[in-house]
Amino acid sequence: MAVDVLKLKKAAVAAGMDKDEARKATRAVLEAFLAKKQTRTVAKKKTTGAPAKKKTTPARKPAAKKATVKTTRKPAAKKSAPAKAPATRKTAKRPATPASDGSGRNLLGQLDFTVTDGWNPRAGSAVDIIFRALKKYRGNVDKTFDALVGNIGEFVGVRMQDGTKRTKANREDMLRYRISRTKFDFAIRTGQHEIATERVAYGTGPYATTRKVKPARKA
């Protein structure tokens, strides 16, 4: 007796056929699909036999450990380093030499630019730049001037406080003054120079008589 087509469709879907294809398929298509499935399953059963047993290699015996003879060394006696003397701040104190012109001023001697206790200009300021140039040329004002005059605008303005425009010579004189003043301030603050106590009063020195006094302006 022939199998019902509906049962064939259910069997084909159970065997892996798509439901839409099974719904549209004829009896011949369904029987052919089921026949292929049966032959495939039979072939798989024949090929799949008992798995081959793997050969097991006998476990190796652990190698015997070689006897090691331990030799104990006596720790070497550590040499104690001599105690370092406490660091002391580097200070320079040089005697001031009086000027030979009778003005009572003390002249600056050779300065040690590595002594910076008490000297702390703002980094990048005009004073800091001038000081670094002085340090590079060991306090030589002329060499410091030659190194900085190319950028004179950073140290001396174009105009005075009253608005008068400075001449080139005036600006260069002012730069020399700033270099000398920076050198003087550094020497005072680091203790490498002393201000004279017996200075000549203003207007009474040997150069006071040579200066011309301008007449007072009339109101």
What are the tens digits of pLDDT across the range 165-188? 999 999 999 999 999 999 999 999
Q: Kindly report the CA angle at 186 between 185 and 187, in degrees rounded to 5?
A: 90
Tokens of residue 52, six digits:
């081959």
Asked whether the beta carbons of 126 and 155 are under 8 A apart, the reply is yes
CA-wise closest residue to 149 among 174, 127, 125, 131:
174
Using an 8 Å Cβ cutoff, are 175 and 155 in contact?
yes
Q: What integer pLDDT is reported at residue 126 of this predicted model? A: 94
Separation of alpha carbons 33 and 41, rounded Å: 13
- The pTM score is 0.46
Whose CA is closest to 9, among 27, 22, 26? 22
pLDDT score at 40: 72
pLDDT of residue 37: 77
Q: Which two tokens stand for residue 16?
A: 């892996």
**pLDDT of 209:** 46
CA 143/CA 135 separation, integer angstroms: 11
Length of the chain, please?
219
99-118 burial string, b = 16+ CB within 10 Å, else e? Answer: eeeeeebbebeebbbebeee
Could you tell me if 96 and 191 are in contact, meaning their C-beta atoms sit under 8 angstroms apart?
Answer: no
Q: Quick: pLDDT tens for 27-46.
A: 788 788 888 877 776 666 65
Low-confidence ranges of the chain (pLDDT < 50): 1, 104, 202, 207-209, 211
